């Protein structure tokens, strides 16, 4: 039997290397009351993969990014606003936020997403 190490922390406060291991996506990050929590899974020059969990009503204020960013909803529901246009997304849906366009997110229900950004 393989031990699930996806959400464990060692005595030095570090997470184990998860590369090459089977992982359960929604177990990688827990919800926290009244908070937005993130966990970077990959951070390379060419891009990042980051998990986020948002409690209901929490969000990210309007901002821009220099690269396209793909947000995949893994659980719950979120309102994503891109250049003033509102998109309601739920589990198993995704959206690509274009580079340099203002966007914001607000959790309609507690939700988790995987954000993938490729730098070009």
Burial class (CB in 10 A: 0-12, 13-18, 19+), 12: exposed
pTM of structure = 0.84
Pairing of strands 36-44, 94-97: unpaired
Q: In this structure, is residue 72 part of a structural domain?
A: yes
How many CA atoms within 13 Å lie on the side-chain side of 95? 21
Residues 3, 8, 14, 19: is their CA dihedral positive or negative? positive
111: in domain: yes
Structural domain for 61, as ranges: 31-118
> Which residue would you say has higher pLDDT here, 16 or 89?
89
Number of H helices, E strands in the chain: 0, 9
pLDDT digits over 70-86, tens only?
Answer: 999 999 999 999 999 99
CATH number at residue 79: 2.60.120.10
Residue 1 has pLDDT above 50, yes or no: no
Number of domains in the chain: 1
Whether 8 is covered by a domain: the verdict is no
Answer yes or no: is 5 within a domain.
no
Query: Over the stretch 91-117, which tens digit does the pLDDT of each residue have?
Result: 999 999 999 999 999 999 999 999 999
In the predicted structure, residue 5 carries a pLDDT above the cut 50:
no
């Amino acid at each position: 039997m393989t031990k699930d190490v996806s959400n464990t922390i060692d005595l030095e406060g570090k997470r184990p290397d998860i590369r090459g291991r089977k992982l359960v996506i929604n177990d990688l990050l827990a919800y926290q009351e009244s908070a937005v929590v993130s966990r970077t899974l990959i951070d390379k020059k060419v891009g990042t993969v980051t998990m986020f969990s948002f409690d209901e009503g929490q969000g990210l204020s309007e901002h821009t990014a220099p690269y396209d960013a793909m947000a995949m909803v893994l659980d719950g529901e979120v309102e994503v606003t891109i250049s003033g246009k509102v998109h309601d997304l739920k589990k198993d849906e995704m959206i690509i936020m274009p580079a340099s366009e203002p966007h914001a997110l607000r959790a309609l229900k507690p939700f988790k997403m995987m954000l993938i950004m490729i730098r070009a």
